[in-house]
Amino acid sequence: MNKTSCDVLVVGGGVAGTLAAVAAARNGARTVLIEKESCLGGIGYAGMFQYICGLYLNGEPVPAGTLNSGIVREVVDRLGNASPKKTVRRLGMVFVLPYAREGLRSVLTVLTENERNLSVLLDCSAESVEVEVRSGTIERVMVTQRGSVQGIEPALVVDCSGDGAAASLAGAEFDLAPAEKRQLAGFTLHVKGLTALDEMLAIKVPYYLLQAVKEGALAPPLRFTTFSPGDAPDEGYFKMSVADDASGGREEKVRSQAEALHLYLADAVPAFKNSYIVNTSPRVLEREGKRIRGEYTLTEEDVLAGRKFPDGVVRNSWPVELWDREKGTIYRYLPPGEYYEIPFRCLLVKHFANLITAGRCISVTSGALGSTRVMGTCMSLGEQAGKAAAYRVRNGAYPGDMKQFSGQDR
């Protein structure tokens, strides 16, 4: 078995993990980033999303810049250079940034390749974690990469896996909503061959799918499916809603449901008559999973009240967005022009000396997760986690004033 050591080990190469690793490396830490897939980007790439949410303050004219400063602005600038026509746009009451998934993967890859203190291991996943229980110190993380096993001995671990993979293996406490109360998961279909594409399709699709559900032709959650056009005039994306299935075999069932949904619309709506599926999400994409317990748990009330904290390190203006099993998508908005802060204590894992989280698995309630889990916010959470990790390795403790250390524009 091979062994290696590093200052900071980042688990998960989505947007949170990539920015955490880059931030740690830029701050002088010998950093290793492991990602279970064959490329960086996480669900921001695999989910075939069209917009990055959580970047901007809402309720004002088109924002001049991102709500959080730092590497996130570098990512936005690089995406803009790669796709100049994809600029900030308003969707309802919020602002979002359109992006190309291949552009995101390219930007994240370039960011990591430019850091001499950073090593990236793709197709690599954490299998077990060895912990010195009395001190709460992670001593070794066993990982597998393409059949090869090695031990990584980090000074500090940042779990950006989305589902709290490393923290769970280490025995960290977590909260997880019961399956029957968990938010609907997602699954994306990319279709081409559309004709007579018009703005009304976004309204027609939910209408026809509701009729299909009433007829018993499609599963009930599919009535919450949304449709949006793509960049080409003949393409579009279906964002399906998926419920947990205790009977098992969910992936196969969802793919079968996706095909049934497309066939139904091809028969019912002329625009889809000659369309065909060119791509899908590689798997069902969870919106809600394990939330690792931290020194503070952010609540929905904190979010909607626009609460600020002495150790607030990330700002967010995104509404509480809940994908309810009975009602579909529910939005609860902050007052126009307002934002809340996520305290660093939400990243500090209880009872562990050298483990922090960033991204979807931080310490929040189920309601607050509906706001904190979006990509733009996860980028900034990752950056702050990486900076703090490098500082602790170098100085033996986290900064005394985390708010000032975060470096946000004031």
Q: What is the CATH number of the domain that holds 71?
A: 3.50.50.60
135 and 206, same structural domain?
no
The pair of three-digit structure tokens given for residue 362, joined into one six-digit string: 């931080």
Q: Quote the pLDDT of residue 144.
A: 97
Instruction: Decide: 329 and 322 in contact? Cβ < 8 Å.
Output: yes
* Domain end call among 228, 247, 280: 280
252 and 103, same structural domain?
no
Average pLDDT, the chain: 94
Buried b (16+ CB within 10 A) or exposed e, 143-157: bbeeeeeebbebbbb
Q: Quote the pLDDT of residue 292.
A: 98
Tell me the pTM: 0.95
Hey, which bits of 65-208 come out as E strands? 89-91, 94-98, 118-122, 124-132, 137-145, 148-159, 174-175, 185-192
165 and 22, same structural domain?
yes
Q: Quote the pLDDT of residue 409.
A: 59
CA distances for 95 relative to 54, 164, 199, 304, angstroms: 8, 29, 19, 18
Count Cβ atoms below 10 Å from residue 161 Cβ, excluding itself: 31
80 and 199, same structural domain?
no
199 and 135, same structural domain?
no
410 within a domain of the structure (yes/no): no
Per-residue pLDDT band at 247 (split at 50, 70, 90): low
106 and 121, same structural domain?
yes
**Low-confidence winner among 251-260, 316-325, 401-410 (lowest mean pLDDT):** 401-410
317 within a domain of the structure (yes/no): yes
Query: What whole-number percentage of the chain has pLDDT above 90?
Result: 90
Domain count for the chain, please give it.
2
CA distances for 240 relative to 47, 276, 335, angstroms: 11, 16, 29
Q: Quote the pLDDT of residue 196.
A: 83
Beta bridge partners of 283: none
Backbone angles phi, psi at 311, to 5 degrees: -110, 30
The pair of three-digit structure tokens given for residue 91, joined into one six-digit string: 């969707």
6 and 146, same structural domain?
yes
19 and 138, same structural domain?
yes
Per-residue pLDDT band at 210 (split at 50, 70, 90): very high
353 and 274, same structural domain?
no
Gap between the Cα atoms of 70 and 357, Å rounded: 19
| Residue 80 burial class via C-beta count within 10 angstroms: exposed 0-12, middle 13-18, buried 19 and up | middle
End-to-end CA distance of the chain: 49
264 within a domain of the structure (yes/no): yes
Per-residue pLDDT band at 1 (split at 50, 70, 90): low
Q: Which residue has the tokens 């994240």?
A: 108
348 and 363, same structural domain?
yes
Give 159-170 pLDDT, tens digit per residue: 999 999 999 999
**Low-confidence winner among 220-234, 236-250, 314-328, 363-377 (lowest mean pLDDT):** 236-250
11 within a domain of the structure (yes/no): yes
Hey, which bits of 205-289 come out as E strands? 226-229, 236-242, 276-280
Gap between the Cα atoms of 390 and 26, Å rounded: 9
235 within a domain of the structure (yes/no): yes
Give 51-62 pLDDT, tens digit per residue: 999 999 998 788
Q: What average pLDDT does range 88-102 have in this prediction?
A: 94
CATH code of residue 235: 3.30.70
240 within a domain of the structure (yes/no): yes
Count Cβ atoms below 10 Å from residue 410 Cβ, excluding itself: 6
Hey, which bits of 253-404 come out as E strands? 276-280, 291-292, 312-316, 320-324, 328-332, 340-343, 355-357
Give 129-160 pLDDT, tens digit per residue: 999 999 999 999 999 999 999 999 999 999 99
Structural domain boundaries enclosing 134? 2-177+288-405
150 within a domain of the structure (yes/no): yes
CA distances for 337 relative to 53, 266, 319, 333, angstroms: 16, 42, 12, 11
111 within a domain of the structure (yes/no): yes
Q: Quote the pLDDT of residue 244.
A: 75
* Domain end call among 225, 247, 280: 280
Q: Quote the pLDDT of residue 174.
A: 97
Give 293-333 pLDDT, tens digit per residue: 999 999 999 999 999 999 999 999 999 999 998 999 999 99
28 and 70, same structural domain?
yes
129 and 38, same structural domain?
yes
Instruction: Decide: 221 and 243 in contact? Cβ < 8 Å.
Output: yes
Q: What average pLDDT does range 284-301 have in this prediction?
A: 96
Give 104-125 pLDDT, tens digit per residue: 999 999 999 999 999 999 999 9
* Domain end call among 231, 261, 280: 280
Q: Which residue has the tokens 């009451």?
A: 93
Gap between the Cα atoms of 278 and 17, Å rounded: 29
| Residue 203 burial class via C-beta count within 10 angstroms: exposed 0-12, middle 13-18, buried 19 and up | exposed
Per-residue pLDDT band at 246 (split at 50, 70, 90): low
Q: Which residue has the tokens 């708010």?
A: 403
